[in-house]
């Protein structure tokens, strides 16, 4: 009888761990772990983006990225 109770407790602990992991992802992930970017980095990226707008791409379709990579060969 003790082994049955132990197995039930282990199953309940396993379920609770899964719920805690889910809650951690739901609550913790939306916050930025990295912090703020340096102002010099932001200025550099914005300057380069304005110098050559074709250097940045927005991939909206599943195959766009693959086609872009293949065209670079």
Query: Distance between CA atoms of 25 and 12, rounded to whole angstroms?
Result: 20
Per residue, the 3-state secondary structure of 19-48, as one string, reads HHHHHHHHHHCCCCCCCCCCHHHHHHHHHH
pLDDT by residue, tens only, the chain of 73 residues: 588 888 999 999 999 998 888 887 777 655 555 667 778 888 887 887 777 766 667 778 888 888 888 887 7
Based on the fold, state whether residues 40 and 28 are members of the same structural domain: no
Residues of the domain holding 57 = 36-73
Based on the fold, state whether residues 43 and 68 are members of the same structural domain: yes
What is the number of H-type helices and E-type strands within the chain? 3, 0
Based on the fold, state whether residues 67 and 41 are members of the same structural domain: yes
Based on the fold, state whether residues 9 and 28 are members of the same structural domain: yes
Based on the fold, state whether residues 27 and 40 are members of the same structural domain: no
DSSP assignment, residue 64?
H
Based on the fold, state whether residues 54 and 29 are members of the same structural domain: no
**What are 49's two structure tokens?**
């983006």
**Longest CA–CA separation in the chain, Å:** 74
Count how many domains the chain has.
Answer: 2
Based on the fold, state whether residues 40 and 26 are members of the same structural domain: no
Length of the chain as a residue count: 73
């Amino acid at each position: 009888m003790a082994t049955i109770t132990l197995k039930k407790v282990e199953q309940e602990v396993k379920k609770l761990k899964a719920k805690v992991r889910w809650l951690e992802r739901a609550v913790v992930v939306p916050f930025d772990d990295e912090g703020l970017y340096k102002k010099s980095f932001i200025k550099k990226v914005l300057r380069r983006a304005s110098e050559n707008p074709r250097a940045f791409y927005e991939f909206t379709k599943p195959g766009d990225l693959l086609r872009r990579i293949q065209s670079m060969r």
